[in-house]
Every structure is written in structure tokens, then in C-alpha cells.
Amino acid sequence: MTYAILSEALRAAMARNDDNAITHLIAELQPADLADFITQQNPAASLELLRHLPLPERAEAFGYLEQEQQLNLARLMPERELAGLMTPMPADERADLFNLLPEPRQEATLRHLAREEREDVRRLASYREGTAGALMTTDYVTIPEQAKVAEALALVRRTAPDAETIYQLYVLDERRRLVGTLSLRELILNSPASSVRALMTTELVQAEVDLPQEEVARLISRYDLLALPVVDAEQRLVGIITYDDAMDVAEEEATEDIHKGGTIGKLEGGLRNASLFTLYRKRIVWLVLLVFANIFSGAGIAHFEETIEAYIVLVFFLPLLIDSGGNAGSQAATLMVRGIATGDVRLADWGKLLGREMIVATGLGLTMALAVSLLGTFRGGPDIALVVALSMLVIVMVGSLIGMSLPFVLNRLGWDPATASAPLVTTIADASGVLIYFGIATSLLGLPA
């Protein structure tokens, strides 16, 4: 059955308190679909639904929930039940949940965990948020470099049930330093008597525990890795980061950049779970700042009152021209911010990109000037057409220059380039556009400055 059918049947079973039907229907749902269904219920009902699942399946579905939802459910669980849920969870998800809990609850829950899980949680929770150490898991398979293929296969069989991935195996020396990697495919296809040392790959792509998580995602994407090993300062293997975790990071970083591009900032827990006050608080600061920034546009218009009085037709073209400059600037800023975020563009590229942007902006401006000159001729005659066309060319070029330069300036200052958002670029380009337009009009139409 499809998710839509199962979810409707589950709602009906919940309405009539049919526990047997609920258990059967929940077992039919994929863990991700069950998590999606749970998000539509209140925390108490969500917890009751999860309790219809065996513990391993319950932990898997729980892992698909947003952190805010996980914390709401954790608040309703006794410490023993919470510890029982955390035990079958992947090590990285277990540590993330632990970090969400208030400190008194952390210590109370730890007492109900087995010693191995307790030490693992403490170790992973100690790494700084947003780094490779906080993202990694300790569920992986290692083999000693002196082992034979037959011994390595036997070790894989023993440890595979607890590992997050077994397709990539990590070869360690006697001091647990990472010396190579070996794929499960290579292990299976070679002779049982072959040496692991002879088969392993020593050209390693790895990350240190303090590497930022966006760099981790970039490494996994660049080298098409199933998992990235994480080492400490002594090159000892301490964990791995799987590609699915890297995908989550990439999505999170892209979402954060998009939000910053709208002058909103990061929304913890996502849009669906954000409170009204949070949405207000995230948006109001920049909106108020930009209101005052737009005073410069108003001051520019006030300065050229005599020009406007002499040629009232100029007002008709004002929104068209300044919006064009803002749009061109927003396009340029979006390209630069994304280029910097992906590593495609560096500070040293500014001069080269500036020249290219000016050539492109000139082409854009000329094309738009030609289009608007026809309208200018119709509305105000040849003189107005010349003013509007020349203004369009200059405004688009200046807007593009602002849009492409602002991310570089912010990056050089150590700020997030995503702050060079569309509203900010548009506001600056608007003020510049007003001054350019009426300045050109005053000069070409023979009016006093």
C-alpha cells in the first residue's frame, strides 16, 4: 500500500483505539514515512505510536525526526526508556540526541547505558558542534595490517552487524594509526592467503576531528567516497563519516545559505517547527535596517526634485530602472556566494571575475537599454529615450559590480558571504540607481545640477 493509504488507515485505527491495527500498520510503514506521520501528531501521541515498534525499528524511525521533535519526545520518556532507545541507535545519532538533553538529564540517562555505549557517547559528545568529530560515528570495521584475507573476512563477519557500513574497511597498525583502506569487494575476490598489506590502498583521503563539516561534505563529494575516515592528531582512526551524513550536512548548509540570502538566518528545527516569535525575530532585524538604508534612495529623489518637476515623465521609468539594477546585482551576488561556498571561487579570483562580470554586465545593459529606449521614445521622445537607455546601461553595470564584489568584501572581513543577500544588494543598488538615473537626466537634459 502507498503511504497515503497507510496513513489514512492509521489515523482511522488511532481514532478507534485499535492497538492491533496500529501495530500492523506501523510495521508496514517505512521508517522515514513513519517519522513524517509522527511529525503531524502531538508529542504524547507520537511516543505512543513509536512504542508499538520493536526497539531497533523504533530507534531507526526516531533517527529520522528533526532534533526539536526528538527532544520533545525525549522529555516524555523515563531515563531507562530513553537509554534503551539510545542503545541501538547509530553512535553519531546517539551522541547528537545526548547533546540535546539538559545536563541533569544527560547524567541520569548515562547511568542506564552499558559501559561501552556510555564511554562512546561521552567521547563523541565532547567534540565541537559543526566539526568532523561531532559528525562521525564509531560503528565501522577495522582490520590489522598484518592479517591475511581469510582472517580479515572472519573479522568482518564478527563485527559487521554493528557497523554502519562494511563496504570500506580500514587497515590499522599496532598503534591504531590508519595506514590504508580496503574495499569489501577486493577482500572477497582475492585469495584467502593474500596479505592485507599487499592489497590495501595507502593513498588516503581523511579528515581531522576539528575539520568543519562543510569541508567534510566537500571531500566526500569531490572524491565520491562512501565514507570518510576521521583521525586525531596522532593519525589514529577515531571514526568515520558516511555519505548519507554528508548529504544531510550539504542540505543543511545550502538551506542556511538560502536563508541568509533572504536575510533570515538559520532556523533551528526547520520552518514547520519554528514558532511565530522565532520567525518574527529572524526577519525583523534586517528588514528594519533595510528600511533605514532605503532613506538614501528617498534622499536622492528629494535632491533631484527640480529635475523631476521639469520632466515628470522620468518618474515613469524610475521603478523599471532601479529594479533592473537590483535584479542584476542579485544575480551576480548569487553566483559569487555559491561559487565561494563550493570552493569554485577564491579571493584571488576577484580580479579575473571582475573583468568577466563587466563584459557580461555590459552586454546585459546594452540589450536592456535597447529594449527600454523604444519605450522611452514612445513615452517622452528621443531625449528621454537617450537618458533612459544610458541610465539602464550604467545602472545594470554598477548593480552587477556591487553584487559580485560584496561577497568578496564580506569574505575578506571574515563574515559569511551569504550575508550579501538579495535584499542587501538590492537596497544598495537602488540607492545607486536613483543617483545615476537623475544625475544622467540632469546632465543630458541641460538642467541645473
Same domain, 31 and 173: no
Of 70, 103, 129, the last residue of a domain is 129
Helix, strand, or coil (residue 78): coil
How are beta strands 227-231 and 207-208 bridged, if at all? parallel
List, run by run, the mean pLDDT of 10-residue segments along the chain (449 residues). 85 89 89 89 90 91 89 91 91 88 89 88 87 89 92 88 85 92 91 91 92 89 89 91 84 70 63 72 73 76 79 86 89 84 78 88 93 86 90 93 87 73 80 90 75
Q: Is residue 286 part of a domain?
A: no
- Residue 50: its pLDDT value, please? 92
Task: Note the residue count of the chain.
Answer: 449
- Residue 271: its pLDDT value, please? 65
- Residue 338: its pLDDT value, please? 79
Q: Is residue 231 part of a domain?
A: yes
Same domain, 339 and 414: yes
Same domain, 424 and 339: yes
Specify which residues 376 forms β-bridges with: none
Burial (0-12, 13-18, 19+ Cβ within 10 Å), 292: exposed
Query: Domain range for residue 328?
Result: 294-444
Cα–Cα distance, 349 to 355 (Å, whole number):
10
Please say whether the beta carbons of 429 and 326 come within 8 A: yes
What is the pTM for the complete model shown? 0.66
Q: Is residue 257 part of a domain?
A: no
Same domain, 213 and 235: yes
Of 129, 155, 175, the last residue of a domain is 129
Q: List the Cα angle 367/386/401 in 5-degree steps.
A: 50
The upper half-sphere exposure of residue 198, i.e. CA atoms within 13 Å in the direction of its Cβ, equals 8
Please say whether the beta carbons of 176 and 206 come within 8 A: no
CATH of the domain at 153: 3.10.580.10
- Residue 280: its pLDDT value, please? 77
Same domain, 125 and 147: no
> Given the C-alpha cell 545602472, which residue does it identify?
395
Same domain, 301 and 433: yes
- Residue 200: its pLDDT value, please? 92
Same domain, 344 and 429: yes
Q: Which three cell numbers stand for residue 259?
A: 536563508
- Residue 160: its pLDDT value, please? 81
Query: Residue 336: which of 323, 322, 355, 349 has the closest Cα?
Result: 349
Q: Looking at beta carbons, which pairs linking 228-236 to residues 24 or more positions away fall under 8 Å? A: 228/132, 229/170, 229/178, 229/181, 229/204, 230/132, 230/133, 230/136, 230/206, 231/177, 231/178, 231/206, 231/207, 232/208, 233/208, 234/175, 234/177, 235/177, 235/178, 236/175, 236/176, 236/177, 236/178
Same domain, 204 and 333: no
CATH of the domain at 420: 1.10.357.20
